[in-house]
Amino acid sequence: MKAFLILEDGHVFTGTSIGAAREVISEIVFNTSMTGYLEVMTDPSYAGQAVCMTYPLIGNYGICYDDQESARPWIDGFIVRELSRVPSNFRSVDTIQHFLTKHDIPGIAGIDTRALTKILREKGTMNGMITVDENYDLNAILPKLKAYTTGKVVEKVTCREKEILPGDGPKVALMDFGAKRNIAHSLNKRGCEVTIYPALTPAEEILADHPDGIMLSNGPGDPKECTSIIKEVKKLYDSNVPIFAICLGHQLMALATGGDTYKMKYGHRGGNHPVKDLATGRVYISSQNHGYVVDAKDLEEKNIAHPAFVNVNDGTNEGMAYVGKNIFTVQFHPEACPGPQDSSYLFDRFMDMMGGNK
């Protein structure tokens, strides 16, 4: 069956329908990872977005449900150059085609993903529609695409109730703004007792449980949409409990303490982004997935926090260290999945911080 990807600038790509044969409007983004497509599809940070994989062949090692980063996929749509329909891998238990269909996610294969990526890099991230309607009306569709926004997606992806992963080490409160599973697992395998809280949990409730440390997770959407959460993050900042924040959590901490964020032209999404640790000068290859970035200027001028990491490619902020506080935050993903494990040592740094707190 034919399928069409229509961008808000009027570009139309024609390919083959994969997954659910339905229409969807979403923000179109690209990911440069060569592997890890299941982790990408199940990363809650992609809620409200359709993902184009830049690697030309996707699906060749199938689907292994143990690799999911959450209980279900969150992408709105999936865009590939070539879909491998016969996977070859001893761990594979499913195909991408069936996985997408089962979860009612539309997709398109057979388009020039290189051309699509170049458009998004040159013009910036834009909205688009995946449709199987061969009689689509472009003039009627374009205003709908321009009007689309992801909205408050954190509330959509967060857990519904508190969950505890037992451990005999420090007690960590993990704020679930759309947390990838491996964040909790990275703490749990270091012995932490991890309590996962819904995103809208009041700071008072978290602090009443007397955690040794607080983790602010990754998540989707514009951080400035999270107005009520930002107020609670400020209370956590004032508590003097050690805090480690990743991706959206990093942005929310900056906003809570008087900093600013802005939308990037096309974001960082992939497993090959170099970041420099400003304290040591060492460069790490990192996994990233974000379309917004912290403007560190105000925080630095007010001596609230100082840049701790910087992106080697474009010089954007990749982390902050907060003055007089046991708080550090990073824009990239030290838990990876998919991606390199270079920066997993940051979890050990967090463990040291909590030991001091105890």
pLDDT of residue 111: 98
Span 27-46, average pLDDT: 97
Percent of the chain with pLDDT over 90: 96
Q: Tens digits of per-residue pLDDT, 121-144?
A: 999 999 999 999 999 999 999 999
Measuring CA to CA, how many Å separate 304 from each of 216, 257, 284? 18, 8, 25
Do 2-147 and 154-357 share a fold? no
357 pLDDT more than 50: no
Q: By percentage, how much of the chain surpasses pLDDT 70?
A: 99
Task: Give yes or no for residue 356 having a pLDDT over 70.
Answer: no
pLDDT at position 341: 83
- Report domain extents, the chain: 2-147, 154-357
Is the Cα dihedral 209, 213, 219, 225 positive or negative?
A: positive
What does the alpha-carbon distance between residue 107 and residue 16 come to, in Å, rounded to a whole number? 8
Crossing angle for the helix pair 248-256 and 227-238, nearest 10 degrees? Answer: 70
Q: Is 292 annotated as a binding residue?
A: yes
The neighbour count for residue 158, using CB atoms within 10 Å, is 22
Kindly state the average pLDDT of the residues 15-20.
Answer: 97
**According to the annotation, is 92 in a ligand binding site?**
no
Instruction: Give the per-residue pLDDT at 339.
Output: 81
Closest CA to 6 of 30, 23, 19, 20: 23
Q: Give the pLDDT mean for 9-16.
A: 98
Tokens 């689309």 belong to 148
- Position 244 scores a pLDDT of 98
Residues identified as active-site: 247, 333, 335
Judged by phi (left if over 0) then psi (alpha if -120 to 50, else beta), residue 62 lies in left
Predicted confidence band of residue 337 (pLDDT cuts 50, 70, 90): confident
What would the pLDDT profile of 85-107 be if each residue is shown by its tens digit? 899 999 999 999 999 999 999 99
Q: Rounding to the nearest 10 degrees, give the CA dihedral for residues 51, 265, 115, 340.
A: -50
Q: In the predicted model, what is the mean pLDDT of the chain?
A: 96
17 is in an annotated binding site: no
**Residue 45 assigned to a binding site:** yes
Q: Is 48 annotated as a binding residue?
A: no
DSSP code string of 84-152: -SS---TT--B-HHHHHHHTT-EEEESS-HHHHHHHHHHH--EEEEEE--TT--HHHHHHHHHH----S
pLDDT at 358 over 50: no
User: Is 219 among the annotated ligand-binding positions?
Assistant: yes
Question: How is domain 2-147 classified at the CATH fold level?
Answer: Glucose Oxidase; domain 1 (3.50.30)
pLDDT at 342 over 90: no
Q: What is the CATH number of domain 154-357?
A: 3.40.50.880
Distances in whole angstroms, Cα of residue 314 to Cα of each of 171, 274, 293: 37, 10, 12
Q: Is a pLDDT exceeding 80 seen at residue 25?
A: yes
Q: 């891998």: which residue's tokens?
A: 89
For 46-54, what is the mean pLDDT?
97
Binding residue per annotation — 217?
no
pLDDT, residue 355, reads 87
